[in-house]
Structure 1
Amino acid sequence: MNKKLKIAFFIGTFPVISESWLVEQITDLIDMGVEIDIFAFNKGKASAISDKVKKYGLMGRTIYLEFPENKFHRIALATLAFARCIYYSPITLFRSLNYKEYGKSVLTFKYLLWAAPLLGKIDRYDVVHCHFGMIANRYLILRDILNIRQNFIVTFYGQDSSKYIQSKGLHVYDKLKKEASMILVMTEEMRDRFVGLGFPPEKLVVHYTGIIPQNYNFNEKSYRFGEKFKIIFVGRFVEKKGIEDLLRATRVIVEEYPNVELHVVGDGDAIYKKNIKELAKRLGVANFIKFEGMLTHQNTLELFYGMHLMVQPSKKAPNGDTDDLPFVLLEGQASGLPVVSTDHVGIPDGIDNGKTGFIVKEGDFRAVAEKVKAFIENPGLLKEFSLNARIFVVEKFDLHKINKRLVSLYKELIIDKHA
């Protein structure tokens, strides 16, 4: 098994600012000698093309399975896809237009446009790795149309393991359960949940998302009573992030310690964002909050330097959406930030409770406030937890160690294929 591994990554959109962790995984695997090509269903914004994406030439490694909304553009691409199928595999053309199997979607040429770019390419890979369950479901359609037989692996992250199942029904992954060679999940809680949903236990592997420790400048936190105590929250403006609880906790904190300053990094739905800002005014905490908006990944890390504490009060949203293990919790701790978060789904896997931060019951904003006040009242605790946080993340979430294990999993699948 000395030959160079060739892996195909199937993802939704590439690149995406909020998925910098995926770029880190890809580039570290490339540094390890793995050949990675990316198959994405949507093009990301030009502003999301980071220096690392440019350095490793990832755009040149990306093939887009485009499905344009514009009807005339779609027909033009479908004409080219038709010709490609005739050249490489006429049977693929007929399968992609199978109305009985795929219904009205074939009339839009969706599956033809998805499948044609893979012809003459997909067979060269040792393993296909799908990121997110809904992307794996799309891949299953292509697997049938193209008669693909490679072993494939899927990683579940968050929304695909909760909200998607709730909206589509419990049977949405039935075919995936049978056909996936291996199913990676982010946390122990997710694994237990998936077993309860009927996923084969022998296929489920807990595999954490990792970070590259040297990319995060460690800054030991210290605080002198009377100084401005700075708290940071990072996340999209969606209900599962618990921003309302964060604002209510802030109100409790500033009643006793008015020298607190909360920095909120992120963006989202305009109406929801407006509601959050109006809530801050009603609670009387607007003057204690700086809404930073959406920042680049690098600018967010630079903001960490001047902060004392990270607070992420995640909770289950009314629509069933969950946060699982927010990557930013790992980034914060790697930078030396102690954290206050909740017992929401997989978050306990990412915090050493009582050593790198505190975990409270989700939805309990008063408990969040009490734990924040504990750091204000005990500066020595802040320093101790800051050191522990860095050590904890380096030992448990070092991406290079995690990727070595991933390569071993890939090799297991290749051996199984030839057994």
Structure 2
Amino acid sequence: MSLNREPVSSLGEPRVLYVVWELGNVSETFLTQTAKRLPLDVRVHEWLATPKEPQPGSHNILERVWRRLSPRPSKNTNADRAQNRFREQLAATEADTVLVDTGPLAMLVATVCKELSIPLCVRFHGVDAYATRLTGEGGNNYRDVFQSAQSIIGVSRHMCEQLKQVGAPDEKIRYSAYFVDPTLFDTSGINTEAIRFLAVGRLVEKKAPLVTLMAFRRALEQCPDIRLMIIGDGPMEQACRQFIRASRMSHAVELAGPLPHETVAEFMSASDVFVQHSVAGTDNDHEGTPVGILEAQISGLPVVSTRHAGIPDVVKEGVTGFLVDEFDVNGMAQHMITLAQSPGLAQQMGAASREIVSSEFSFDNTLGKLARILTEAAKVPSGDQRKRL
């Protein structure tokens, strides 16, 4: 895939083949930014770009992933063709190391990398590190990946501990946080007349949108002028609409559906407080570090969220926002009331949010650390030890 690359920072950097399921979706903006901004010689390989049979009735990426992981009677499968195509791009790029996003994709890539003695780095993102249906019992599905990978990357400290629990060797685990582009997000002043709350994310179990709505309903009773916009769609959308209607909140809550990234940034700059009630879902599904929270903070918004997975890494309690335990509806509602009734505090926390995220989660810090991990991996094995393609 051809990308408008940012200038690299140095000469002689390792050649990295960055393997992803696909780019181009609104939800994959972070992956595209990684490919463009990583200060190394990067080429991208999109696994799902492989020609495949029609799959009527679903465009869900997880279902498409499972089709490729499912055993098939014929040797001429999509997975076989995808691996051959991957080999061809390895030959074309002469990669020094491979960076793979998500554990399931690493399961497909690891065999080829091991065979050709090309160092493999695997970055986990959320569900792939936690959900038993993906990790297998005790991490059994990832055993070969953990054994052959040079580095195993978690995007939160909580995830790094989780990876250790499912069998990743401690000495291979690296922490490399997400990042946010400050140039895409602007700040706005607090609206002292009607505080505008914003939530962004898929309407799925681990985002717990109904819990957010329950908390907002209680806050609305105390602060009748506040408003809430929820951006995103998902399987819980109809349940959310029913709850809003049954709670007589249609005048105060808007479900905006999925929006382009640029439009989301505009709504963030026009909002006052970001809310997200993340919880552990069925099958132990967890967040990684929600990019939406980082984007809200760089927009100068205080955050009300939960002590869940990587969120405490990026939200400093009492400084950039408030955190509650999972399913603490009353606690979340009270913090929403506090910020609605104290616009000065909200503005102070929002300013701290932008300052801290600009410093700690900048391109230089986060992608610089990832580049160092990949550069170190590229040294093992050395070029003269590597099998030629």
TM-score range, shorter chain: 0.7 to 0.9
1:395/1:140 CA distance change after superposition, 3 Å: same
What secondary structure, in the 3-state scheme, does the structure 1 residue paired with 2:266 have?
A: helix
1:105/1:302 CA distance change after superposition, 3 Å: farther
RMSD between superposed Cα atoms in Å: 2.1
1:291/1:222 CA distance change after superposition, 3 Å: same
Equivalents in 1 of 2:190, 2:132: separation in Å?
A: 42
Shift of 1:199: 1.2
Amino acid at match of 2:90: I
Equivalents in 1 of 2:284, 2:313: separation in Å?
A: 20
Q: Which residue of 1 aligns with 2:46?
A: 40
Q: Is the 8 Å Cα contact of residues 247 and 285 (structure 1) preserved in structure 2? A: no
Q: How does 1:68-147 map to 2 (within 5 A)?
A: 68-69=53-54, 104-123=72-91, 124-143=94-113, 147=115
Amino acid at match of 1:68: E
Say yes or no: does 1:8 pair with 2:8.
no
Q: Is the 8 Å Cα contact of residues 151 and 180 (structure 1) preserved in structure 2? A: yes
Say yes or no: does 1:211 pair with 2:177.
no
Q: Which residue of 2 aligns with 1:234?
A: 200
Higher share of residues assigned helix: 1
What secondary structure, in the 3-state scheme, does the structure 2 residue paired with 1:394 have?
A: helix
Q: Which residue of 2 aligns with 1:160?
A: 128
1:106/1:10 CA distance change after superposition, 3 Å: farther
Consecutive unaligned residues of structure 1, counting only runs of 5 or more, are: 43-63, 72-101
Q: Which residue of 1 aligns with 2:261?
A: 297
Equivalents in 2 of 1:260, 1:319: separation in Å?
A: 35
Out of 23, 46, 65, the residue aligned to residue 50 of structure 2 is 65
Out of 252, 255, 260, the residue aligned to residue 226 of structure 2 is 260
Q: Is the 8 Å Cα contact of residues 289 and 310 (structure 2) preserved in structure 1? A: yes
Shift of 1:68: 2.6
Q: Which residue of 2 aligns with 1:202?
A: 171
What secondary structure, in the 3-state scheme, does the structure 2 residue paired with 1:319 have?
A: helix
Q: Is the 8 Å Cα contact of residues 352 and 392 (structure 1) preserved in structure 2? A: no
Shift of 1:242: 1.2
TM-score for the superposition, normalised by structure 1: 0.81
Say yes or no: does 1:193 pair with 2:162.
yes
Equivalents in 2 of 1:135, 1:411: separation in Å?
A: 21
Equivalents in 2 of 1:233, 1:162: separation in Å?
A: 24
Shift of 1:344: 1.1
1:37/1:152 CA distance change after superposition, 3 Å: same
1:7/1:172 CA distance change after superposition, 3 Å: same
Q: Which residue of 2 aligns with 1:183?
A: 152
Equivalents in 1 of 2:350, 2:373: separation in Å?
A: 33
Out of 236, 252, 262, the residue aligned to residue 288 of structure 1 is 252
What secondary structure, in the 3-state scheme, does the structure 1 residue paired with 2:284 have?
A: coil
Q: Which residue of 2 aligns with 1:27?
A: 36
Report the number of matched residues: 358
Shift of 1:103: 5.7
What secondary structure, in the 3-state scheme, does the structure 2 residue paired with 1:173 have?
A: helix
- Percent identical residues: 22
Shift of 1:334: 0.2
TM-score for the superposition, normalised by structure 2: 0.87
Cα displacement string for residues 163-203 of structure 1 (whole angstroms, at most 9, x for unaligned residues) = 25467433111111101100010111111122222210000
Amino acid at match of 1:12: W
What secondary structure, in the 3-state scheme, does the structure 2 residue paired with 1:392 have?
A: helix
**Looking at both structures, which has the greater relative contact order when contacts are Cα pairs under 8 Å and sequence separation is at least 6?**
2
Equivalents in 1 of 2:172, 2:240: separation in Å?
A: 41
Q: How does 1:396-407 map to 2 (within 5 A)?
A: 396-407=360-371
Shift of 1:108: 4.6
Shift of 1:5: 2.6
Equivalents in 2 of 1:265, 1:140: separation in Å?
A: 37
Q: Which residue of 2 aligns with 1:307?
A: 271
1:165/1:350 CA distance change after superposition, 3 Å: farther
Shift of 1:329: 0.3
What secondary structure, in the 3-state scheme, does the structure 1 residue paired with 2:319 have?
A: coil
Out of 337, 356, 359, the residue aligned to residue 395 of structure 1 is 359
Q: Is the 8 Å Cα contact of residues 237 and 268 (structure 1) preserved in structure 2? A: yes
Q: Is the 8 Å Cα contact of residues 216 and 336 (structure 2) preserved in structure 1? A: no
Shift of 1:214: 2.6
Shift of 1:126: 0.8
Equivalents in 1 of 2:113, 2:98: separation in Å?
A: 10
1:106/1:139 CA distance change after superposition, 3 Å: farther
